[in-house]
Amino acid sequence: MRNYEVEKILDVPVDILTMSDILSDVEECFKENTKLTIASVNPQIILMSEQNKAVKDFIGQSTHRIADGIGIIKVSRWTKGKVTERVAGFDTMEELLRFCNTHKKRIFLYGAKPEVVKLAGENIATTYPNLEVAGMIDGYTKLSDDKIVEQINEAQADMVFVALGSPKQEEWLKKNINLISANVFQTIGGSLDVLSGTAKRAPEIFITLNLEWLYRSISNPKRFYRIFQLPVFVLKSINWHRKQGKH
C-alpha cells in the first residue's frame, strides 16, 4: 500500500487520497494478506479525540483516514491545506460491498439494533448476490469481546464493518483488531440504518452541496447538537494551525 501525504487538523491525521486510491489498496491488501483500516474523520470525531485517547490512537494507527465531512475540507482550504475531496464513509462502504460482490468476498456486520443489522444484512445479500454475509452481531449483544472476535474469525470474514457509533466503534476496533483474521475493517457509524431501510440518506441536493451532515442533524433530534459543534471545530482548528505556524 502506498504512503499518502498526511495533513493534520487539530493534531488528527487526514490522508490526502481518493476513492480510487482506497479500492486499489484494498485489492493489494488481499494479494499481500495485510490489514487495511478505514477510519472516518469528521469534525465531531476530531473534537471527540481531544478527550478520548483511544479514538485519537485508533485514527493514528489506521491505514486510511478519510475526510468524511465538509468541515474538514473547508478548514483545510482556509489553512492552505491540501485536502480537497470528501470521501464519504457511506459511499466508501458501498464501494467495498461492490468490490466484495465482484471478488466473492465474505463480510461481517457488527453493530446497530438487532432488527436493523438483520434487515441490512438481508438487503446487502439481495443487492450484492455474489458476496456472502458470513455473520452479523447487533450492537446490543451481551456477548463478550472474546466471543465476538471468535464468531468473526469462525465466519472467516474478509471484511468487517463496525457500526457501534463513535467513540465505541473506534474503541472496540483499537482493542480487538489485531485479534481478528479479516483483512479490511471500516467504522461505519449509522450506515446500517440506511442500508436496512429504517432511515433515509439525505436527498441528493444535500449530498451534492456537501450538507448531508446538516440534513442528518435536523432530521434527528439526538444529532441536533452537532450543528453547534461545527463553529467550535472551525475556530479550534484555525487556532491550532496558527499555533503551529501554519497559518
pLDDT of residue 216: 62
The yes-or-no verdict on residue 13 having pLDDT over 80 is yes
Residue-by-residue DSSP string for 212-234: HHHHHHHH-GGGTTHHHHHHHHH
Tell me the per-residue pLDDT of 62-71, one tens digit each, with 9 for 90 and over: 999 999 988 8
pTM of the predicted model, to two decimals?
0.89
**Mean pLDDT for the chain?**
91
Pair 87, 80: CB distance under 8 Å: no
pLDDT of residue 24: 97
Grid cell for residue 130: 455474489
Q: What angle do CA 132, 145, 40 make, to 5 degrees?
A: 65
Residue-by-residue DSSP string for 9-22: ETTEEEE---HHHH
The yes-or-no verdict on residue 14 having pLDDT over 90 is yes
**Burial grade of 110 (CB within 10 A; 0-12, 13-18, 19 or more):** buried
Tell me the per-residue pLDDT of 192-216, one tens digit each, with 9 for 90 and over: 999 999 876 666 776 665 666 555 6
Find the mean pLDDT for residues 107-130: 98
Indicate the pLDDT class of residue 244, thresholds 50, 70 and 90. Answer: confident
Indicate the pLDDT class of residue 27, thresholds 50, 70 and 90. Answer: very high
Poorest-confidence range of 94-103, 146-155, 209-218?
Answer: 209-218
pLDDT of residue 70: 86
